[in-house]
């Protein structure tokens, strides 16, 4: 049976159209939530963190965590697993992960013009200003997602789809009838070649996940058991890296041979680095002394610990909400929202985050108050970097335990 992949814009009555298509075809429905929840269950990564892979702007910690790349690897594998089962309809961002080379996948776009989408939002009681803001954010996320997968910056470009359905000009029943008609055409019927392409996509995705769990992020392709790994980013010894990559996947079921090649970016200034998931990689340094904060962040990076910097309490709280750090290294005396207030708010809203106070102007009373508020440790400047690193490792271990038990 063929597969249906439906991508849609916000405020396009998508629930009505998807429901009509499902009823007309009898297909099983796989949503973005379906894929995310399955990926979370199998990877151990929280669903909230995985969902951030759909955002146009990556987390400030992503260069250390590769969270976006890990999430996409898991999404791609789960989509590929459903793809080989056939008789399934994907709906949402993950629908765009169905490979274009799989000819028995019917790609559908549900979209409308701006005014029609605003009118649809109004029927939901959403103001025009709020709807415009949501549409801009949603379209920006869609554009980044589609560009990453296809190289096309227009997420609604007709060339990406077999059918583009203007929902302001077609009823759900009309759209469903059109999709059902298209499913009957020879061009989208599965054959030996298209089924092989789907199986190759599944093997490539399985290899990608295997490598991602070991901290390696490379492009993967498969062809009848031969896997090609393409390395981008500067590598001083591609042959040595290739040996490591081959050893990681050669014993996987379905893998007969592994080729490692350098990609077009192999000689760029960007450095290929293996991600070490055991070390802290979501550390937020908060200090209004910019030089100190930047230097500390760099010293942590030398020790393969990933950190970002905030220079005031308000910015730190925004980062906690948006980017989900695991550990904070927090100064007390800052203008505006001071360290104690940041600690109090973080422990109220994100109690799983462990906070290390690092101050040069504290007192014994400050220490007692901070520990009562839930600080993991209270250290004074100047601090020995090895001592701080040791405390940071312990705090990070506890933070990850907190997340598992949450």
Backbone dihedral angles phi then psi of residue 197, each to the nearest 5 degrees:
-60, -40
31 with 173, same domain: the answer is yes
Neighbours of 259 (CB within 10 A): 12
Do 35 and 145 lie in one domain? The reply is yes
> Is residue 170 included in any domain, yes or no?
yes
The two tokens of residue 18 are: 């998807």
Query: Would you tell me how many other CB atoms lie within 10 Å of the CB of residue 233?
Result: 17
> What does the alpha-carbon distance between residue 139 and residue 359 come to, in Å, rounded to a whole number?
43
What totals of helices (H) and strands (E) does the chain contain, helices first? 15, 13
| Structural domain that includes position 225 | 214-262
Terminal-residue alpha carbon distance, the chain: 41
* Boundary (domain end) residue, out of 154, 188, 222: 188
One domain for residues 179 and 82: yes
Answer yes or no: is 271 within a domain.
no
Q: Is residue 273 one of the residues assigned to a domain?
A: no
- Phi, psi at residue 107, to the nearest 5°? -95, 125
Q: Is the dihedral of CA 118, 124, 127, 129 positive or negative?
A: negative
Query: Cβ of 314: how many Cβ atoms within 10 Å?
Result: 15
pLDDT of the residue at 159? 95
Does residue 52 share a domain with residue 157? Answer: yes
Amino acid 270: pLDDT: 60
Residue 235 is predicted with a pLDDT of 80
Distance in angstroms (rounded) separating the CA atoms of residues 300 and 307: 7
pLDDT at 406 (0 to 100):
66
> What per-residue confidence (pLDDT) applies to 356?
98
Paired strand residues for 330:
286, 357
Specify whether 169 is located in the same domain as 226: no
Whether residue 270 is contained in a domain is answered as no
Same domain, 86 and 173: yes
- Per DSSP, what are the bridge partners of residue 231? 262
Please count the structural domains in the chain: 3
Together in a domain, 251 and 290: no
| Dihedrals phi, psi of 327, to nearest 5 degrees | -135, 140
Position 25 in a domain = yes
Q: Give how far the C-alpha of residue 10 lies from the chain's centroid of Cα atoms, to the nearest Å.
A: 20
pLDDT at residue 248, as a whole number: 97
Whether residue 385 lies inside any domain: the answer is yes
Q: What pLDDT is stored for residue 404 in this prediction?
A: 79
Verify that 307 and 241 share a domain, yes or no: no
CATH number at residue 325: 3.40.50.2300
CA dihedral 290, 292, 293, 298 (to 10 degrees): 120
Instruction: Tell whether 158 and 17 lie within a shared domain.
Output: yes
Indicate whether 327 and 382 sit together in one domain: yes
d(CA 222, CA 337): 53
- Residue 126 inside a domain? The answer is yes
Provide the residue-wise pLDDT of the chain in tens; the chain has 406 residues: 899 999 999 999 999 999 999 999 999 999 999 999 999 999 999 999 999 999 999 999 999 999 999 999 999 999 999 999 989 999 999 999 999 999 999 999 999 999 999 999 999 999 999 999 999 999 999 999 999 999 999 999 999 999 999 999 999 999 999 999 999 999 999 999 999 999 999 999 999 999 999 999 999 999 999 999 999 877 878 899 999 999 999 999 999 999 999 887 655 556 677 888 999 999 999 999 999 999 999 999 999 999 999 999 999 999 999 999 999 999 999 999 999 999 999 999 999 999 999 999 889 999 999 999 999 999 999 999 999 999 999 999 999 999 877 6
Is 267 inside a domain boundary?
Answer: no
Q: Is residue 253 located within the same domain as residue 361?
A: no
230 with 183, same domain: the answer is: no
Query: Residue 76's domain is classified under what CATH number?
Result: 3.40.50.300
Task: Tell me if 204 sits within 8 A of 238, measured CB to CB.
Answer: no
């Amino acid at each position: 049976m063929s597969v249906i992949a439906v991508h849609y814009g916000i405020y396009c009555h998508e629930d009505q159209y998807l429901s009509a298509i499902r009823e007309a075809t009898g297909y099983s429905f796989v949503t973005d939530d379906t894929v995310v929840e399955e990926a979370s269950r199998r990877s151990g990564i929280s669903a909230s963190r995985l969902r951030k892979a759909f955002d146009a702007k990556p987390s400030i910690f992503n260069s250390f965590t590769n969270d976006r790349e890990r999430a996409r690897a898991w999404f791609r594998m789960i989509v590929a697993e459903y793809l080989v089962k056939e008789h399934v309809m994907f709906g949402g961002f993950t629908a765009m992960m169905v490979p274009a080379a799989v000819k028995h996948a019917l790609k559908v776009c549900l979209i409308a013009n701006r005014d029609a989408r605003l009118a649809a939002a109004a029927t939901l009681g959403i103001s025009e200003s709020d709807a415009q803001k949501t549409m801009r954010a949603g379209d920006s996320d869609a554009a980044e997602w589609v560009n990453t997968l296809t190289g096309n910056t227009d997420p609604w470009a007709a060339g990406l789809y077999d059918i583009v359905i203007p929902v302001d000009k077609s009823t759900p029943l009309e759209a469903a009838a059109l999709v059902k008609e298209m499913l009957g055409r020879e061009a989208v019927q599965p054959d030996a070649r298209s089924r092989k392409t789907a199986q190759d996509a599944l093997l490539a995705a399985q290899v990608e996940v295997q490598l991602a769990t070991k901290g390696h992020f490379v492009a993967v392709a498969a062809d009848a058991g031969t896997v090609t790994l393409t390395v981008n980013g500067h590598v001083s010894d591609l042959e040595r890296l290739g040996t490591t990559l081959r050893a990681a996947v050669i014993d996987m079921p379905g893998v007969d041979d592994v080729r490692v090649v350098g990609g077009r970016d192999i000689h760029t200034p960007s450095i290929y680095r293996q991600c070490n998931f055991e070390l802290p990689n979501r550390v937020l340094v908060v200090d209004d002394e910019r030089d100190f904060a930047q230097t500390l962040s760099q010293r942590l990076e030398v020790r393969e610990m990933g950190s970002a910097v905030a220079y005031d309490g308000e910015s730190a709280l925004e980062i906690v909400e948006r980017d989900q750090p695991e550990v904070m290294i927090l100064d007390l005396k800052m203008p505006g929202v001071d360290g104690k207030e940041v600690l109090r708010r973080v422990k109220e809203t994100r109690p799983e985050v462990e906070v290390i106070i690092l101050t040069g102007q504290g007192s014994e009373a400050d220490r007692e108050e901070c520990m009562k508020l839930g600080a993991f440790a209270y250290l004074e400047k100047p601090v020995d970097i090895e001592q701080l690193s040791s405390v940071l490792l312990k705090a990070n271990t506890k933070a990850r335990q907190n997340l598992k038990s949450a």
